[in-house]
Chain A
Amino acid sequence: MSLLSVNDLWVSYGAIQALRGISLRVEPGEIVTLIGGNGAGKSTTLRTISGLLQPRSGEIQFQGQAIQGRAPHHIVTSGLIQVPEGRGIFANLTVDENLQLGAFTRSDRVAIRKDRERALELFPRVRERLKQLAGTLSGGEQQMLAIARALLARPKLLMLDEPSLGLAPQIVQTIFQVIREINREGTTILLVEQNASMALQVAHRAYVIEVGEMIMDGPAAELAASDEVRKAYLGAH
């Protein structure tokens, strides 16, 4: 059984059709990437899966349960966690409070403390800034905090929306390394990226979305080698 399966999803913003019947699935243990250009519908896909947008039609199943129409906080409780585009940090709260909110739905204190330790091990720079207001962090640090915070929710599926956006190449390297590591430790990942070359390197499988439609999918290595993807997304001529 797929961990997540999306079937023929249609989503619109008023008169604008943002998604025109897209389908995708994520198997347990995988890193799947969804790549596409500006305005292709990547964020819309994630926001719909998280319950922030209601689809016109289509089906979303998580662990075999239909979740479309459920409130976002219920979806989070079932282990489907999103780090949104722009990181979704609460700038008015301290770094520490942001981390606490990651575990909002949990009450198992001992396990939370353990997960927190692990997350801070992955991102030592976050640990150094626990008492600081999160709004004062640099972009890279905010991304690290956002991922650390998401880990405190014990995600079964972690969806990341453009984690590399606006970050220096070195930080991007760090972030992608951590993504690999989290995955090795057993967390399934759905990674949305415009940075196709990085995404195709870490992912097992990939989907390509263009103006609201899935135009290609397959093993990441295969797509990375295909002429179409190389031309459109990897800057080859």
Chain B
Amino acid sequence: MADFAQTLMTALAIGSLYALIALGYTMVYGILKFINFAHSDIVVLGAWVSYTLANKILPMLGLNPHNPETAPPLWVGALILLSAMVACGLLGFAIERLAYKPLRRAPRLNVLITAIGVSLLLQNIGQLNYVFGASPQKMPALMPNIDLLRLSLPSGDGYRDVVIGLVDVMIFATSAVLMLVLEYLVFRTKLGTAMRAVSFSTDNASLMGIPVDRVVSFTFVLGSSLAAAAGFLYVMKYPGLNQPAHSIWVLLGLKAFVAAVIGGIGNVRGAVLGGFVIAFVEQFGAFYISSNYRDVYVFALLIIILLVRPTGLLGSPVREKV
């Protein structure tokens, strides 16, 4: 019981991170029909920008970034989160303009290869000494790790404490707010309707007077800032910050991509669902079966879904275009 509650908490926190990242993959795929391999590097950038800002801002407030006991007021975290989102949003905009827009009418394979190139470029620029460097760092704590709730739950023969920590709750709450904002934007606003129209057919959307290029740019800004938020929240939970080209980031991006596929690539609600589904499979599998195979569960689930429901959980069956 206690273990179950603890695993559930972790799965919810990790699931919201996967969901935030998966949204970027799915939105870009929905509109441009290619997998933006550089998306996971935006997550990395979000994490490293957060680290860099924290190291600048904390000393200004007279706090020692390396002393976890002196957590700053919450607005500092909020400010860093917003700045990381803006920075990554701008970078996403620039990447689309410079790398992908010139290939709008090129075969999809060319765009895909370009995306891999952009990803490698970002990883290697990130490792430069005067950018982020190639060694791991420790993210300063931006919020006190208070135990919001301590429950004594039965576990085996006795009782064990289950802690619901501020960090996990913040991760879940922040992600939930961002996803609700996105849901509103995509399904309730004129711009969102235009986005969905562009994702169905760019030509027909432009015949409605929709400025397709601007909608595409906007999609990249949106996806990239969500990725930045995920990067920020990720290092809140795991402060050991790996260097920008570390394979752990690649795996994180890959799992989020799997989440998008499982939910139905191109489907915004599917990405969120997929994020939570794989986090649950991963966390519960790791706890109740064996933590050595945590990645195996995720990819096994992917294979099963692709076999039984190739369009993903919420994906619509391949539609015929007239």
Report A's interface with B, CB cutoff 8 A.
50-52, 71-73, 76-77, 81-82, 84, 86-88, 90-93, 97, 100-102, 104-105, 135, 149, 153
Task: Known contacts A100-B193, A101-B193, A104-B190; decide if A90 and B200 are in contact (CB<8 Å).
Answer: yes
Q: Which residue of A lies closest to B319 (CB)?
A: A91
Contact B209 A77 (CB under 8 A): yes
Quick one: given A52-B206, A84-B207, are A101 and B201 in contact (CB under 8 Å)?
Answer: no
Interface string of B159-203 (1 = CB under 8 A from A): 000000000000000000000000000000010011011011101
Chain A's closest residue to B187 (CB) is A97
A226 to B207 Cα, complex, angstroms:
36
A104 touches B204 (CB 8 A): no
Q: How far is the CB of A72 from chain B (nearest CB, A)?
A: 4
Question: In this complex, what residue of A is CB-closest to B321?
Answer: A86
Residue among B193, B212, B321 with most chain A CB within 10 A: B193
Pairwise interchain contact A104-B203, C-beta atoms closer than 8 A: no
Q: Name the distance in Å between A156's Cβ and chain B's nearest Cβ.
A: 13
Say yes or no: B193 contacts A84, CB within 8 Å. no
Cα of A88 to Cα of B196 in the assembled complex, Å: 14
CB-contact partner of A88 in B193, B207, B210, B211, under 8 A: B207
Contact A93 B193 (CB under 8 A): yes
The number of residues on chain B lying at the interface, defined by a beta carbon within 8 Å of a beta carbon of chain A, is 22
- Distance (Å) between the CB of A123 and the closest chain B CB? 18
Tell me if A76 and B196 are in contact (CB < 8 A). Answer: no
A73-B319 in contact (CB<8A):
no
List residues of chain A with CB within 8 A of the CB of B209: 73, 76-77, 104-105, 153
Apart from the given pairs A87-B322, A93-B197, A101-B208, 4 other A-B contacts in the complex at a CB distance below 8 Å:
A73-B206, A92-B199, A101-B205, A105-B208
The 8 nearest A-B residue pairs measured at CB: A76-B209, A105-B209, A72-B206, A88-B204, A86-B322, A101-B208, A90-B200, A73-B209
Which chain A residues lie closer than 8 Å to B212 at the CB level? 73
Give A84 to B211 CA distance when docked, in angstroms. 18
Q: Tell me if B152 is interfacial: C-beta within 8 Å of chain A.
A: no
For A73, the chain B residues whose CB sits under 8 A away are 206, 208-212
Q: Which B residue sits closest to A86, measured CB to CB?
A: B322
- Contact indicator B208/A76 (Cβ below 8 Å): yes
Interface of A is mostly: loop
A residues less than 8 Å from B316 (CB atoms):
92
Contacts of A97 in B (CB 8 A): 193, 196
Q: Is the CB of A84 within 8 A of B204?
A: yes
- Which residues of A have CB within 8 Å of B203? 52, 72, 84, 88
Find chain B residues with CB under 8 A from A87 CB.
Answer: 322
**Which residues, 23 to 66 on B, are CB-close (under 8 Å) to A?**
none
Instruction: Verify B200–A101 contact, CB threshold 8 A.
Output: no
Q: How far is the CB of A167 from chain B (nearest CB, A)?
A: 13
Bound-state CA distance A104–B55 (Å) is 46
Chain B CB within 10 Å — which of A52, A77, A104, A135 has the most?
A104
Which residues in A have their C-beta under 8 angstroms from that of B322? 86-87
Tell me the smallest distance from the CB of B170 to a CB of chain A, in Å: 35
CB atoms of B207 and A82 under 8 A apart: yes
Q: Report chain A residues within 8 Å CB of B194.
A: 101, 104
Q: Which of B85-124 contact A (CB under 8 A)?
A: none
Whose C-beta in chain A lies nearest to the C-beta of B212?
A73
A135 vs B197: C-alpha distance when bound (angstroms)? 13
A88 to B200, CA, bound (A): 10
| Nearest-CB residue, chain A, relative to B316 | A92
Residues on B with C-beta less than 8 A from A135 are 319
Are the C-beta atoms of A91 and B200 separated by less than 8 Å? yes
Are A90 and B201 neighbours in the complex by a CB distance under 8 Å? Answer: yes
Closest to B199 in A: A92
The answer to whether B319 touches A71 (Cβ under 8 A) is no
B197 touching A71, Cβ below 8 Å: no
| Contact B206 A71, beta carbon cutoff 8 Å | yes
Asked, given contacts A90-B200, A93-B197, whether A100 binds B190 with beta carbons under 8 Å apart, the answer is yes
Q: Report the bound CA distance from A82 to B205 in whole Å.
A: 11
8 A–B pairs (Cβ distance < 8 Å), ordered by A:
A72-B203, A72-B207, A76-B207, A76-B208, A104-B190, A104-B208, A104-B209, A105-B209
Kindly state the separation between the CA atoms of A101 and B194 in the bound complex, as whole angstroms: 7
Name the A residues within 8 Å of B207 (CB-CB). Answer: 50, 52, 72, 76, 81-82, 84, 88
Complex CA gap A105/B214 in Å reads 14
A-side contacts of B204, CB under 8 Å: 84, 88, 90
Also in contact, A90 and B206, with CB within 8 A (given A71-B211, A100-B190): no
A residues in contact with B319, CB < 8 Å: 91, 135
Q: How far is the CA of A90 from the CA of B200 in the complex (A)?
A: 6
